[in-house]
Amino acid sequence: MYEYEHDRLCDDILADTDLIGEALTVLGPDRAVPSCPGWTTGRMLIHLHQALSWGATIVEKRATEFLPPSATEEPGEEHAETPGEAHARTHGETHGETHGDWTRRVDSLAHQVSDSDGSLGRDTASQVSWLRAAAERMVTALREAGPHATVWTTFGAQEARFWSSWAAAEVAVHRADLDLVRGRRVRIDTGTALDAVDLWLHAIAAPSAAMFFDPRLAEMRGRGETFGFRAVDAPDPARGLWRVTRTPEGLLTERPAPDRWASDTSPSVTVHGTADELLLLLKRRTRVESSPVTVSGESQLLDHWLDHVLT
C-alpha cells in the first residue's frame, strides 16, 4: 500500500489546499455542498482544518497510540471531552470513541469557531489563511518526520507515510467537492487518486479503522460476494487492481497480480474506470448512473456497497 512518493503527496496537500482556498474565495462560506449533504462551504473548511490539525499533532508528537481530537487543539481552543474520548483515554483504546462521537466532535468544533448566527466570523481571506496554516503545519510535520518515522495510524504499518496518503486523499476529495459546486470537471492526479483508492479499500477492511466509518459498514459481511475494481489509467497495471470480498467476518481487500486477475473466477461485480473516477464513486461524490465508470456483473451489489460503505 501507499506506493506514491511521500514528498509528492506533501506537494499535493499544499496544491489542493490552495485550490480549495481559491474556490472558497469565489463561493464564500455559505454555499451548500450537495456531495456532502447538510454541509456548507464554511462547514467543510472547519472540517478540513480539524482533520489536518489532528493529523499534524499525531505526526508532530510521534504519537504511538490514538490521540482524540481533544488532545490536538491549537492553543486557546477548549473542548469538552466526549464520553467516547474519555473511554479511549482511560482504557488506552481507539474503540472507545464511536462514529457518533467523531461526528459530534466536528460539530463541536464548528460551534466553537462560529458566530451565533452560524458563520465563521472571519473574512474570506482570513478563513483561507486559517486553512492554509493547518495544511502547512501538516506538511511540515510530515517532511520533518520522513515517511518511515514510527507513529500511530488507524491501521496498517505504524509509519508517517500513512498520514501523507491520508491527508492528500482528504484534501483531494474535498477539493473535488468544491469543483462540483462550481460545475467544473473534476481531475485528480492519477498517482494521488490511485494512492487514495488503495487507502480507502484497505481502510474499510481494517477492524481498527471501523470507528471512523458509519455503523452500516457492519452490514457488508457476506458469503463470498466479490468486487473487482480496475483503474484503467494506472501506469503499472498491478497498481490499478483490487479485489474485495464480503466474508462472514467482514471485508477482505487484496491486490491481485494482473495474471491472476485474468485467470481467477470473475468477481461478482466489476468496476472499470480511471483512478479519479473510481475514487469519486467510492467516496460517493458521483452516482453510478452519472459516472463514466463501466459496471459489469451484479450491479445491485455495488448499489448495496455505496449505501453501506461511508464515513
Domain ranges (residues) in the chain: 6-186, 211-308
What φ, ψ does residue 296 adopt, rounded to 5°? Answer: -130, 150
Instruction: In whole angstroms, give the CA distance from residue 78 to residue 204.
Output: 32
What φ, ψ does residue 156 adopt, rounded to 5°? Answer: 75, -160
Number of neighbouring beta carbons within 10 Å of residue 307: 13
Please list the pLDDT of the chain residue by residue as tens digits (311 residues).
656 799 999 999 999 999 999 999 999 999 999 999 999 999 999 999 999 999 999 999 999 999 987 676 564 444 444 443 443 444 344 444 554 555 666 566 555 655 544 555 568 889 999 999 999 999 999 999 999 999 999 999 999 999 999 999 999 999 999 999 999 999 999 999 999 999 999 999 999 888 888 889 999 999 999 999 999 999 999 899 999 999 999 999 999 988 887 677 889 999 999 999 999 999 999 999 999 999 999 999 999 999 999 87
**pTM across the whole model:** 0.87
Does the domain spanning 211-308 belong to CATH 3.30.2290.10?
Answer: no
Instruction: In whole angstroms, give the CA distance from residue 235 to residue 112.
Output: 45
Instruction: In whole angstroms, give the CA distance from residue 2 to residue 95.
Output: 24
| Order of all β-strands in the sheet with 269-273 | 250-254, 241-247, 226-231, 269-273, 294-297
Cell 457488508 belongs to residue: 220
SS3 label, residue 236: coil
- Between CA 143 and CA 151, with CA 148 as vertex, the angle to 5 degrees is 90
Does the domain spanning 6-186 belong to CATH 1.20.120?
Answer: yes
What are the tens digits of pLDDT across the range 165-197? 999 999 999 999 999 999 999 999 999 999 999
Instruction: In whole angstroms, give the CA distance from residue 278 to residue 284.
Output: 10
Cell 461485480 belongs to residue: 269
Helix locations, 245-298, DSSP H: 258-263, 275-282
Spatial CA neighbour of 20 closest among 142, 123, 131, 126: 131
